[in-house]
Amino acid sequence: MYEWMSRARTAVLDSLAPARCASCGDAGQVLCEACVAFLEVAPPPLIAGAGARAAFVYDDEVRQVLHHGKFRDCRTALRALAWLGASRLTPPVGAMVVPVPLSRGRLAERGYNQARVVAGAFADFHGLPIADLLERTRETPPQSTLDRSARQASVAGAFAAICDVAGKRLWVVDDVLTTGATSNAARGALLDAGAAQVEVAVLAAVL
Ligand SMILES: [Zn+2]
């Protein structure tokens, strides 16, 4: 069979098939009970680099869901995982949830911002408002292609507040934290703009 035909067939079958667990692939639910049980006994929220809190360790189970979320349009599983994650995190009292934005180029490519899906679940779970208060001031290379020091240099000054944040308490949310360079840059931009308190939470942190 031609490769394109095979790909098209897979896409059609995928769209007709019942839900599969985004983590283990078993048919049934977007996240199966076994995988959820595993996540619940995984290590508790931790203080990762950059003073951020992470709901989960970026292990194989979480990676599967995030990669589906990232490279296929599979927001349901990501949202389910983020909802579970939200229950393990405590936002600042009265905070507004701020997703880490994607660059325009990457947003156009992917169609949606994964950090915003996570932030939406965190906000809904805790009954907090969500607001896009940050923008990317320039394109940055994908962080996964860079080493630690290059990451810090590449995102320094890459964010700016786009609304008045003076005196506000903010909860910045991202999907994955690796070195903390991105969340640090986002938090710095909000503090520079006068925010009273900025805490960072991520769905998963690479240890
Ligand atoms: Zn599963």
Both tokens assigned to 162: 């786009």
Q: How far apart are the first and last CA of the chain?
A: 43
pLDDT band for position 13 (cuts 50, 70, 90):
low
> What distance in angstroms lies between residue 36's CA and the mean position of ligand 1's atoms?
7
Q: Give the pLDDT of residue 168.
A: 97
Q: Give the pLDDT of residue 115.
A: 95
The sign of the torsion formed by the CA atoms of 185, 186, 187, 192 equals positive
Helix axes 148-155, 181-192, angle to 10 degrees: 30
Q: Give the pLDDT of residue 123.
A: 96
Residue 10 predicted with pLDDT over 60: no
> What distance in angstroms lies between residue 108's CA and the mean position of ligand 1's atoms?
30
> What distance in angstroms lies between residue 26's CA and the mean position of ligand 1's atoms?
6
Task: Catalogue all structural domains in the chain, each as residue range(s) with its CATH number.
Answer: 45-205 (3.40.50)
Q: pLDDT: is 9 or 120 the higher one?
A: 120
pLDDT band for position 186 (cuts 50, 70, 90):
very high
d(CA 21, CA 110): 22
The three-class DSSP label of residue 76 is helix
Contact in structure between 82 and 56 (CB atoms under 8 Å):
no
pLDDT tens, residue by residue, 98-125: 999 988 888 888 788 999 999 999 999 9
- pLDDT (mean) for 175-203: 93
Q: Give the pLDDT of residue 121.
A: 94
> What distance in angstroms lies between residue 34's CA and the mean position of ligand 1's atoms?
6
